[in-house]
Structure 1
Amino acid sequence: MRIAMVSEHASPLAALGGVDAGGQNVYVARLSEELARRGHDVTVHTRRDDPGLPDRVPLPGGAVVEHVPAGPPEVLPKDALFAHMPSFGAHLAHVWRRERPDVVHAHFWMSGMASLLGAGPHGVPVVQTFHALGTVKRRHQGREDTSPAERIGIERQIGRTCDRVLATCSDEVHELAAMGISPRQVSVVPCGVDSAHFHPAADPATAPAPARAHRHRLLSCGRLVRRKGYDQAIRALARIPGTELLVAGGPPPALLHTDPEARRLLGVAAEEGVGDRVRLLGAVDPARMPALMRSADLVLCTPAYEPFGIVPLEAMACAVPVVATDVGGHRDSVADRRTGRLVPQGDPVAVAAAVRDLLGSDRTRRRYGTAGRERVLHRFTWRRVADGAEQVYRRVTAEHEVKTEVA
């Protein structure tokens, strides 16, 4: 099957941890690689943000990244790309005229715009994964939401006109239904994790962190942005004695002092009286993340909202228990009181209580860790994700063929 992935801002080649480089990049890269290994012809179309980039770059496993000329060839904020989606879509239409894909899988709402523009003239079915919805972002960020005003209306239109919406968690199905997109139009295929890379045998001695300075260690990781809720973890730490918190993500360590969110978090730590127990690590080499996770007693995931929940899966794959906010993708990935704890969002007191409870029982942590690893292997490998995606692709292509024959 010839599969076109469209991911306008989240390139599989991007370094993770930046403001606009996170779970979506991982999802697109790993799914593309797994599908290519199965013999599919996979091309990822992403925007050119550097004039020196090659037109085509191979990925491990056989997939290829194609850089699309849409807007100036420089790094732009994600929300600034909206104006360039018509030219992105026109480029896709031109490319697909020469080599028509069997199915298009669009990632994020702006990719959906471009994909429908590019696929329409050639009758190619389009599968849409939103990764994050504008309604959720606006609800939680309010006036701080910098998304284009047209976003929610366009997402609604995409959901109603694409051939299938592929949601990453069950919570998203309810959100889409509230937007007027029927659950019958939606399939749920969760995120995945590389269970061979993230594993319990990772050696904590190789973790990129100073030696443990306190009895217990907590770890939070991901993009260094406000919605990830690291401040909630820091406020919880003030109620957890004898424990340190490491935060991995953001710019390289030498540039942390220039990052507004890093400065804000250090200010929160000082305000809470835990400045000596909070360490910001900055960007961490992905190759060393499993060891860093294994060096922690617990992984904390405390965002205000979370469409994905890849970090909990990575921790569970390493057999490390998770304390996570009861939001979005966490509800599917974390089994409460079996692989970790789900706590109310925005409640550092509840976070602290759950952490203290788990730190007080080595036996419970070991049991949760073992169960977490088993849950990942059963439900959340990239092989399982690719199985689900393949089923959706085959369904929409078959339905499209029937419609074409009837027409």
Structure 2
Amino acid sequence: MAAPQVPVRPLNVMVVEFLPSGGMFQFSFQFAQALAQAGHRVQLLTGPEPELTPTAPNLEVVPMFPTWHPNVGLGGSLVRRKARRIWRALLLVESWRRVLHHLRRTRPDVVQFGELRYPLDSASLLVVARLGRAGTVVDVAHNPLPYDVTGRTQAVEKTGRLTRALLARAYRACDLVLVLGEGPRTELQAAFPDVRRVTVCGHGDYSAVLDAHELPAPADVPPHLLFFGAWTKYKNIPLMLDAFARVRAEMPQARLTLAGPVMPDVDELDIVRQAEGIGGVDLRPGYVAMEDLPDLFGSHRAVVFTYATVNISGSVHMAYTFGRPVVATDVGSMRDAVEEEVTGLLAAPESGPIAEALLRVLRDPGLADRMGRAASRRVHDNSTWSGVVERAVTGYLDALQGH
């Protein structure tokens, strides 16, 4: 006998993103806005002065947490950094307390969390899942094993026993875990086989939060390359600079721009010294405002990523939104995002092959244009937020029916 179907109806959904700006907030905001546009009633709970303002009538952005904007004030002495970490941990505890209180008062059909960055997040989710009175508890596992962007070790992922044990329990406590691609799903289920329900929702584009701009085609701009995103060890910036040094030796007019916030796990001075020794490198450390992105991407022919590993990259989807081809290392799940010879080029994670791929794009403007157009089509056809929401809501209803 077939199981009864949960009727398709407007859901009350609470989306929680503690940090009010940056890539994770932008993802959560666009997800929440697409849910609202699909007819669901959505609250996005976040920190002070959110970066984006909703336009969907069913979406309310509530700045209710005493959190901070990411990538702000990361420097200082060792004592100051430790004090800041303790203070922010206390603010995070208070934010989780407010989540629990709000859940018990409102009792939404779905509460959806984002990246479980710290053991504190995993432990708090366990409490919320047990006591929060939501219909179903969902986590979006951007990286099934969170990346370590604060430590100075060579490890890319957080693999401590406490982190692993709490993550395992947190994922088990969720009624549904959403992942952004088949690669992350495989990694999640291999590392945490007890997860109850996993759905691939995919990653949307960035056109919904960016004004329409008439951007030049890749062939119409100089042979300039862009790296966009946080400067952190798993992005392997030294390898990128080594490859670009080879490019400059054959094409002196080439330039490379590195734009994004600097994480504590990299030495900015080392990057500056290496870039100065090569020449033609424009360093733009710091957060890039949303309104500056069209000009930034539009003034470069291609976008380069020399990751040591990757699950899914929002920056790749951003490059596609602006019609830019991608040159990336063939690691992790990068093939889920970059279609070889169609939307970009993949290379072995060595300076020689990367340089060869970069030179192909820079020397052949027609190739850059063809791949840029294909990248735009891929976003339009396969990376819409309406598609993300459709797959997620199917998962929500399955989880609610499971209850």
Amino acid corresponding to residue 352 of structure 1 in structure 2: A
2:134 pairs with 1:128: no
Per the alignment, residue 232 of structure 2 pairs with 225
The two structures have a TM-score, normalised by structure 1, of 0.78
Secondary structure of 1:187 counterpart: strand
Give me the whole-angstrom Cα distance separating, in 1, the residues matched to 2:175 and 2:85: 25
Work out the CA distance in 2 between the residues paired with 1:339 and 1:145: 28
Are 1:388 and 2:398 counterparts? no
Tell me whether 1:262 sits opposite 2:268 in the alignment: yes
The yes-or-no answer on 1:216 pairing with 2:213 is: no
Q: How does 1:114-125 map to 2 (within 5 A)?
A: 114-121=124-131, 122=133, 124-125=135-136
Quote the Cα distance in structure 2 between the aligned partners of 1:198 and 1:291: 12
Shift of 1:321: 1.0
What is the Cα deviation at residue 329 of structure 1?
Answer: 4.5
Question: What residue number does 2:176 align with?
Answer: 164
CA contact (8 A) 2:146 2:157 kept: no
Point out where structure 2 has 5 or more consecutive residues left out of the alignment: 1-10, 74-82
Q: Which residue of 1 aligns with 2:30?
A: 30
Maintained 8 Å contact 2:114/2:140:
yes
Identity rate, percent:
25
C-alpha distance in structure 2 between counterparts of 1:306 and 1:145, whole Å: 10
* Residue 202 (structure 1) aligned with residue 215 (structure 2): yes
| Alignment partner, residue 5 of structure 2 | none
Establish whether residue 247 from structure 1 lines up as the match of residue 258 from structure 2: yes
1:175 and 2:175 are equivalent in the alignment: no
Summarize the alignment of residues 8-407 of structure 1 with structure 2, pairs less than 5 Å apart. Answer: 8=18, 11=19, 13-14=20-21, 16=22, 23-46=23-46, 53=48, 59-61=54-56, 62-68=59-65, 88-109=95-116, 110=118, 111-121=121-131, 122=133, 124-134=135-145, 142=154, 149-181=161-193, 185-195=197-207, 197=210, 201-202=214-215, 216-240=223-247, 241-242=251-252, 243-250=254-261, 261-270=267-276, 273-274=277-278, 276-282=279-285, 283-345=287-349, 347-400=350-403
1:112–1:199 distance in 2 versus 1, CA, 3 Å: farther
Deviation at 1:38, TM superposition (A): 2.9
Asked whether the 8 Å contact 1:195–1:377 carries over to 2, the reply is: no
Deviations along 1:125-161, one digit per CA (max 9) or x if unpaired, are: 11111222337659x9545867865111111122223
Question: Aligned to 1:150, what secondary structure does the other structure show?
Answer: helix
Report the aligned-residue RMSD.
3.6
- Shift of the 162–285 alpha-carbon distance from structure 1 to 2, 3 Å rule, reads closer
Can you give the 5+ residue segments of structure 1 that lack an aligned partner in the other structure?
17-22, 205-211, 401-407
Mapped to 1, the partners of 2:271 and 2:188 lie a distance apart of 33
Q: State the secondary structure of the residue aligned to 1:303.
A: coil
Distance 2:67 2:135 in 1: 21
Say if 1:250 and 1:68 are closer, same or farther in 2 by CA, change over 3 A.
closer
| TM-score of the two chains, using structure 2 as the length reference | 0.78
